[in-house]
């Protein structure tokens, strides 16, 4: 039925949009970013970025319709047939990422205008939105390209833009500058490892087309060079993904960056890097036991469990709200890596589903913290006292998203954790089930301490708040939060969209290489 509806909608669109939607998805924000620099006023630059983000999201929906109708889409640049030319490949796996990035980028931009006006100097607001659009283009490019070297190029476009965006929080908190520098150093190390791995792959196969690399590896078998390339690429992407214990850049980047940046990064950046890791492990290097067995069971699975437990404990002891959510993000990435490390279609699908749900829940939580801060200057857990009464709508949406983070029934988080547990039981990994439950119990404690403050503690007098309260939370910031809170409930009752895509993606990747 959804494919039929998609076909009807696509038939109404101009032929040139259908033909070039894949290229436009990246080119539109990439070329629009520099234009924002010409716009001297911050609100005008925001309006420009908003229009481009809406177009980008609509293009992602067009590609989603094409994937539903055709299964996969290939866009060839310059009529140079692969593997010689550059191609964009869209399938069930990366259309999920494209929808996440485009959707969360749009919602983060709408939610972020009031905070940007407050936190960023007027002269820096236009460059801020320009950097956002370049970051959006880079993340889209990573997800859509079928060329391995282009993955590196787009990763660097998004990373360099992100370093700038994080550093712009320096006018509010000087720690943003050191966090940006730390992110820059570790991100550069990750990029170096990744590009060395690509060089080794090219030396072994003579191609950079991801589908052709898979063919060459299947025909020629693996070698020491290929195994070294695999190790370099996984470590490089592990740094970009904030895989434990390579995550040390993430807490600072999420905590001290401008509010909108923290929201956008928490819901997109690590998801794109995780997608790239999935694509390379199962789609490019799908050559058997040396990769699937040893890496997944002996390396990634223990690291995933360590992230789930250790970072949940770290989150439990944080009093800074955004740093609490940052450590929680690393723990939630552990769930995704655990699904990947199972090496089964059920496990991979569950990990990808949790990736989608985590974008919804963590985006909403960062938005909630941002609105609390915008009205009352809330920064720490004790500052939440009484906000359940003074800001009931925001507090309710924040609580629903927190319950989804725990994995409570009637929320999307429950669905993905349920599928993870089922996949672990099918694999015979009882210890993984225990880790999922233990991490979820820890999440109860750190979410509960926030909920307790909001609903069971008395609000301090207004004069003791960090700043004079506004009359009410800005509607522009509140609407995206409510959309995500509703989505966290909606996808419990109907998870057919993300689950259908993750099942198809897992079946394609584990059924024979790059899809």
DSSP H helical segments within 377-458, as ranges?
387-390, 392-406, 412-427, 430-456
pLDDT given at position 199: 92
pLDDT digits (tens, 9 = 90+) for 48-82: 999 999 999 999 999 998 888 888 888 888 777 77
User: Which residue did the predictor score with more confidence, 188 or 19?
Assistant: 188
Residue percentage of the chain with pLDDT more than 70: 92
DSSP state of 383: G
pLDDT given at position 291: 55
pLDDT given at position 473: 64
Which SS3 state, helix, strand or coil, does residue 76 take? Answer: strand
Based on the structure, what is the number of domains in the chain? 1
Backbone angles phi, psi at 244, to 5 degrees: -60, 135
CA–CA distance, 31 with 133 (Å, rounded to integer): 9
Q: Are 177 and 167 in contact (CB under 8 A)?
A: yes
Largest CA distance in the chain: 72
Instruction: Inform me whether the pLDDT recorded for 221 exceeds 90.
Output: no
Q: Across residues 389-413, what is the average pLDDT?
A: 92
Confirm whether 1 is domain-assigned. no
Average pLDDT, the chain: 87
User: Which residue did the predictor score with more confidence, 47 or 84?
Assistant: 47
DSSP state of 13: S
Confirm whether 213 is domain-assigned. no
pLDDT given at position 13: 65
Confirm whether 401 is domain-assigned. yes
Instruction: Inform me whether the pLDDT recorded for 388 exceeds 80.
Output: yes
Q: How confident is the model at residue 396 (pLDDT cuts 50, 70, 90)?
A: very high
pLDDT given at position 3: 52
CA–CA distance, 313 with 328 (Å, rounded to integer): 9
Confirm whether 362 is domain-assigned. yes
CA–CA distance, 324 with 255 (Å, rounded to integer): 9
CA–CA distance, 344 with 24 (Å, rounded to integer): 35
Q: Are 514 and 210 in contact (CB under 8 A)?
A: yes
pLDDT given at position 133: 94
pLDDT given at position 33: 86
Give residues with Cβ within 8 angstroms of 15, minimum separation 6: none
Q: Are 330 and 313 in contact (CB under 8 A)?
A: no
CA–CA distances in Å: residue 331 to residues 14, 77, 328: 44, 39, 5
Is pTM beyond 0.85? Reply is yes
CA–CA distance, 15 with 21 (Å, rounded to integer): 10
Confirm whether 326 is domain-assigned. yes
Q: Across residues 341-360, what is the average pLDDT?
A: 92
pLDDT digits (tens, 9 = 90+) for 453-477: 998 888 766 544 545 445 456 888 8
Q: How confident is the model at residue 108 (pLDDT cuts 50, 70, 90)?
A: very high
Confirm whether 474 is domain-assigned. yes
Cα 455 versus chain centre, distance: 30
Hey, which bits of 345-404 come out as E strands? Answer: none
Instruction: Inform me whether the pLDDT recorded for 288 exceeds 80.
Output: no
Q: Are 365 and 322 in contact (CB under 8 A)?
A: no
Residue 93 tokens read as 């796996």
Confirm whether 505 is domain-assigned. yes
Q: Across residues 498-513, what is the average pLDDT?
A: 82
pLDDT given at position 458: 80
Q: Are 105 and 263 in contact (CB under 8 A)?
A: no
Concatenated DSSP letters for 197-254? HHHHHHHHHS--BHHHHHHHHHHH---HHHHHHHHHHHHHHHHHHT-TTS-TTHHHHH
Instruction: Inform me whether the pLDDT recorded for 290 exceeds 50.
Output: no
Q: Report the b/e string of 324-340 with b at 16+ CB within 10 A.
A: bbbbbbbbbbbbbbbbb
Q: Across residues 339-364, what is the average pLDDT?
A: 92
Backbone angles phi, psi at 87, to 5 degrees: -125, 150
Confirm whether 16 is domain-assigned. no
pLDDT digits (tens, 9 = 90+) for 153-180: 999 999 999 999 999 888 787 888 898 8
Residue percentage of the chain with pLDDT more than 90: 51
* Residue whose C-alpha is closest to residue 305's, from 432, 410, 124: 432
Please give the residue range of the domain that contains residue 474. 302-515
Give the other-Cβ count within 10 Å of 442's Cβ.
22
* Residue whose C-alpha is closest to residue 300's, from 258, 370, 360, 347: 347
């Amino acid at each position: 039925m959804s494919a039929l509806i998609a076909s009807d909608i696509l038939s109404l669109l101009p032929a040139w949009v259908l033909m070039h939607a894949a290229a436009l998805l990246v080119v539109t924000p990439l070329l629009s970013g520099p234009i924002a620099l010409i716009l001297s006023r911050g609100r005008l630059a925001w309006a420009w970025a908003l229009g481009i983000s809406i177009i980008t999201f609509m293009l992602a929906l067009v590609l989603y319709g094409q994937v539903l109708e055709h299964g996969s889409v290939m866009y060839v640049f310059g009529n140079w047939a692969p593997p010689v030319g550059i191609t964009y490949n869209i399938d069930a796996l990366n259309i999920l990422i494209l929808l996440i990035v485009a959707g969360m980028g749009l919602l983060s931009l709408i939610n972020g205008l009031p905070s940007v006006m407050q936190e960023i100097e007027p002269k820096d607001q236009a460059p801020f939105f320009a950097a956002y659009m370049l970051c959006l283009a880079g993340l889209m490019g990573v997800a859509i390209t079928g060329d391995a070297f282009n993955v590196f190029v787009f990763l660097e476009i998004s990373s360099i833009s992100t370093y700038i965006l994080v550093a712009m929080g320096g006018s509010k908190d000087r720690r943003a500058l050191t966090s940006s520098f730390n992110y820059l150093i570790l991100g550069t190390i990750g990029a170096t490892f990744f590009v060395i791995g690509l060089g080794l792959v090219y030396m072994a196969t003579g191609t950079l087309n991801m589908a052709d690399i898979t063919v060459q590896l299947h025909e020629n078998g693996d070698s020491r060079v290929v195994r070294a390339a695999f190790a370099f690429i996984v470590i490089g992407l592990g740094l970009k993904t904030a895989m434990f214990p390579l995550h040390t850049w993430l807490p600072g980047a999420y905590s001290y960056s401008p509010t909108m940046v923290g929201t956008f990064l928490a819901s997109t950046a690590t998801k794109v890097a995780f997608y790239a890791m999935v694509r390379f492990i199962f789609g490019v290097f799908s050559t058997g036991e040396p990769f699937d067995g040893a890496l997944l069971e002996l390396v990634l699975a223990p690291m995933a469990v360590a992230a789930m437990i250790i970072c949940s404990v770290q989150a439990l002891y944080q009093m800074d709200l955004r740093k609490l959510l940052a450590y929680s993000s690393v723990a939630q990435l552990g769930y995704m890596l655990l699904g990947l490390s199972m090496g089964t279609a059920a496990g991979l699908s569950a990990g990808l589903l949790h990736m989608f749900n985590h974008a919804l829940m963590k985006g909403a939580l960062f938005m909630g913290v941002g609105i609390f801060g915008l009205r009352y200057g809330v920064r720490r857990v004790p500052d939440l006292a009484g906000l359940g009464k003074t800001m009931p709508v925001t507090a309710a949406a924040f609580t629903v998203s927190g319950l989804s983070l725990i994995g409570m029934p009637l929320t999307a988080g429950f669905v993905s954790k349920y599928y993870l547990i089922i996949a672990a039981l099918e694999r015979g990994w009882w210890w993984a089930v225990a880790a999922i439950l233990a991490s979820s119990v820890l999440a109860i404690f750190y979410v509960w301490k926030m909920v307790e403050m909001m609903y069971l503690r008395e609000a301090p007098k207004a004069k003791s708040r960090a700043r004079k309260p506004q009359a009410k939370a800005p509607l522009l910031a509140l609407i995206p939060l409510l959309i995500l809170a509703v989505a966290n409930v909606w996808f419990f009752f109907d998870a057919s969209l993300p689950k259908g895509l993750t099942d198809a993606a897992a079946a394609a990747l584990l059924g024979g290489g790059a899809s």
